[in-house]
Amino acid sequence: MNNPPKFAVIGGGSWATAIAKMLCVNLPEIAWYMRSQSAIDHLKAEKHNPNYLSSVEFDTKKLRLTSDINEAIAYADYLIFAIPSAFLSKELEKLTVDLKGKVIFSAIKGIVPETFLIVGEHFHKNFDIPYDNIGVITGPCHAEEVALERLSYLTIACADSEKAKVVANYLSCHFIKTKISDDIIGTEYAAMLKNIYAIAAGIAHGLGYGDNFQSVIMSNAIREMKRFIKKVHKMKRNINNSAYLGDLLVTGYSVFSRNRMFGNMIGKGYTVQAAQHEMSMVAEGYYAVKSAYKLNQDYKAKTPIIDAVYEVLYEGKEAKKVFKKLTDKLD
């Protein structure tokens, strides 16, 4: 390829920073949108993001930094969205340029709370983007480990395998291995659901349950995920692949998991507000559980773990009692 496609990263958080780092390995230039002008000024002067993954040094000659989302979108052929799903609608309200013809990949692991849609569906329904131009970047991959260049694996899903290959190609490097998938709906729901299960694992830990029970939660969670995704979109998929099970495990067990950390605080007796206040980062699972619970009123999959987390976070029930009941429903 003589002229590589132009990429823009949308978002200024840790995952956006990690994706920008991967793309910079392979591309001469990328556009990078972040809301904060002061973060951009710092990046230009100091070569790193002041707020997230600040150990990562960038060659700023490769970065077209902007605090205008339209400028980044107008520049690029491929857009990678990596902002928390709770803030996506607000950012998209700023659009004045057309998304027609753009290829949109979501690196957002959550549901858009205003519409209860996963990000791909949101773009399809609200912006008329054909599914062939929508993709997902997922897999067991914590931004903090990408920053340290520890080997990580990503799954790039898109209905159009050629576009998945393009994105996979430009994200691959000596510390990132990629594979492609056509299960765009399943991988995106898996990415959203595993954050809920990580909160459950955290709550259990905070309540004083040990590793034995955590493994039971994880074993039940992957089966629960399979039931839920099958109701949403039935197709042949191996739920034990890295994009599903691998992502669930790293989110449930890793010290870098913000959802697990959030759950741990809840288990220890923090209120939702206090836990959110203490964490500087968004725990996607908090929004995801409300959406998944509401969606499941229609799907009616058997989801005891999602139900338990919902009761604790949204119905104000006591975690200890809810999890005591949950222990009788798991096997």
CA neighbours closer than 13 Å in the CB half-sphere of residue 105: 29
Q: Phi/psi of residue 77, each to 5°?
A: -95, -40
* Contact between residue 214 and residue 106 where contact means Cβ atoms under 8 Å apart: no
Q: Is position 325 annotated as part of the catalytic site?
A: no
User: CA–CA separation, 265 vs 259, rounded Å?
Assistant: 10
Question: Which letter, b or e, does each residue of 124-161 get, where b requires 16 or more Cβ atoms within 10 Å of its Cβ?
Answer: beeeebeeebbbbbbbbbbbbbbbeeeebbbbbbbbbe
Q: Which residues of 315-327 are buried (b: 16+ CB within 10 A; e: fewer)?
A: eeeebeebbeebe
**Catalytic position from the list 21, 109, 163, 194:** 194
Report d(CA 39, CA 31) in Å as an integer.
15
Nearest Cα to Cα of residue 252 among 204, 322, 306: 204
In this structure, what token pair is assigned to residue 141? Answer: 């991959």
Name the nearest CA neighbour of 188 among 268, 124, 243: 243
Tell me if 248 sits within 8 A of 190, measured CB to CB: yes
Active site residues: 194
